[in-house]
Structure 1
Amino acid sequence: MTVRSIALVTLIVHDYDEAIAFFTRALRFSLVEDTQLTPAKRWVVVAPPGGTGAALLLAKAAEPAQAARVGDQTGGRVALFLETDDFWDDYRHMHA
């Protein structure tokens, strides 16, 4: 077997709908999938518009230890680097 790419990167969030709103409105990501798995768990995937690389799986924190890591999932290191073709346009959109 040869691994060819990374398909999904999990990001722990406090609330599915709040995270979907942030990624789709502020970052203009596409909502790829939002499937209810159990009453408390959903499979939520967002991806950059037109992206052909990895997408983000938004996973709701299910226990206190996970909730404590939201916003600090990499121990203070940068988790993701986003690439843009027009920084100032994206910056203005995020701050609108």
Structure 2
Amino acid sequence: MATEQFIGVVDRFEDDLAVVLLEQDGEVVDELVIDRDALPDAANHVDAVLQITRGDDGSVREMSYDAETTTERKERAQSRFDRLSKRPPKDDDA
């Protein structure tokens, strides 16, 4: 049986459901809606990164929380935010 590998990112929660965006090569290619209880315990938060394997029928075969990538993405996003939040100096301030 053929399988596909994805990086999944928890996008949001809608009641008892988790909406997970599936990425391949840095692009969002699909969306997965699963029961929130099906997430690994550590991944029960927005922006959690998962390693997901789906079968050719679309069902999830394996799902694991990727703590290292979650932390890296959070730090990169915070760094971008910090850079963008700094105002450039006015011409008369320089």
TM-score scaled by length of structure 2: 0.27
Q: Per chain length, whose mean CA-contact separation is higher, i.e. which structure has more relative contact order (CA < 8 Å, sep 6+)?
A: 1
Based on CA coordinates, which of the two structures has the bigger radius of gyration? 2
